[in-house]
Amino acid sequence: QVQLVESGGGLVQPGSSLKLSCSASGFVIDSIETYRVGWFRQAPGKQREGVSCTSASDGNKYYANSVKGRFTVSRDNARNIVYLHMNNLKPEDTAVYYCAMNHGIFCSTSASDYKAWGQGTQVTVSA
């Protein structure tokens, strides 16, 4: 059972940057190299939204239109960490951000494709 822990959220002003980390543990018979990773966010009163993902090979990445050009997903497989670097943050980026992992070659932003989820980290963008 893979365990995920997000960190790096906080309160920032518009235009600022944050780097979220997703630390994974619990790999027994496999490794993070076999997992696709998705980043999701959920704002109050709204559905969970897929914002980014990266394939197991890290060659296939996706960004929602709302974050394209501002967010970057990367992974450090040797350290079992996946990052979401967020630049030029906007108030509409305010949400709880979650990382998720599941076996699969290509990335996906469908929540139903993932079984392992972190607890979430709060990102608040406000002046």
The string of pLDDT tens digits covering residues 60-118 is 999 999 999 999 999 999 999 999 999 999 999 999 999 999 998 888 999 999 999 99
18-62 confidence digits (pLDDT tens) = 999 999 999 988 999 999 999 999 999 999 999 999 998 878 999
Q: How far is CA 115 from the centre of its chain?
A: 14
